[in-house]
Amino acid sequence: VSGSWDNTVRVWSLASGEQVRRSNGHTNAVDAVAVSPDGQHVVSGSWDTTVCVLSLARRQQVRQLNGHIRAVLTVAVTPCSQHVVSGGNDRTVRVWSLASGEELRRFVGHALEVRCATVTPDGQHVVIAIEDKTLRVLSLASGKEVRRFEGHAHAVQCAAITPDGEHVVSGGHGRVLRMWSLANGEEVRQLWDHFQEVWSVAVSLCGEHIASADEGCMVLAWSTPRGLAR
């Protein structure tokens, strides 16, 4: 699934490379997409300030989530496929019901824009990356911040959580990947090799590999440092 500055969301066949779906629900650039874990929906966030929900089975947009007042830069779906998390230029993080489109919770008070949001495997917390150089762990149940990771010297652009829910990997303008303990917020590793800003990071389902991409179009694959993979 891909989103583009041509305002579209497209679904492609992995086997053939052919486009199998196209959604034109946004009126501005699409900066974020996520697939629900049950494989039923695609969620997208756009510079038009909306979050759209596309049904893969019905091949059409089924819902539009309105509330953000500036560009939506990140979207995620909880492991239960019942809730959507979004964040962006309005410096808020919002939690929505995927079924009804109702806004259920709003996290405010961030000094700068929210660049990335990712949900922990147990569905209890969301980790957000912010332009103020921090990562924050928010409780989806209480609406409170429970932990803050500080150490990046520049804006944080991306974050990913290991499948066991024990570590977070983050990157940004500082060209370094940092690995953190979710339990206590301590930095446990640094990975250097990028020459430009890191824009995206992902962890394999087995937890043994990390992939990261930077502004210079370089994609690096890493083996998870010994002691972090199980």
Return the pLDDT at 199. 93
Return the pLDDT at 226. 56
Nearest to 167 by CA among 183, 156, 152, 154: 183
Give, for all 230 residues of the chain, the pLDDT tens digit. Answer: 999 999 999 999 999 999 999 999 999 999 999 999 999 999 999 999 999 999 999 989 999 999 999 999 999 999 999 999 999 999 999 999 999 999 999 999 888 999 999 999 999 999 999 999 999 999 999 989 999 999 899 999 999 999 999 999 999 988 889 999 999 989 998 988 898 999 999 999 999 999 999 999 999 999 886 545 43
Nearest to 137 by CA among 165, 164, 112, 163: 165
Return the pLDDT at 227. 43
Report whether 36 contacts 23 (CB < 8 A). Answer: no
Nearest to 29 by CA among 71, 63, 57, 76: 71
Return the pLDDT at 109. 85
Angstrom distance (rounded) from CA 171 to CA 118:
13
3-state DSSP of 84-120: EEEEECCCCEEEEECCCCCEEEEECCCCCCEEEEEEC
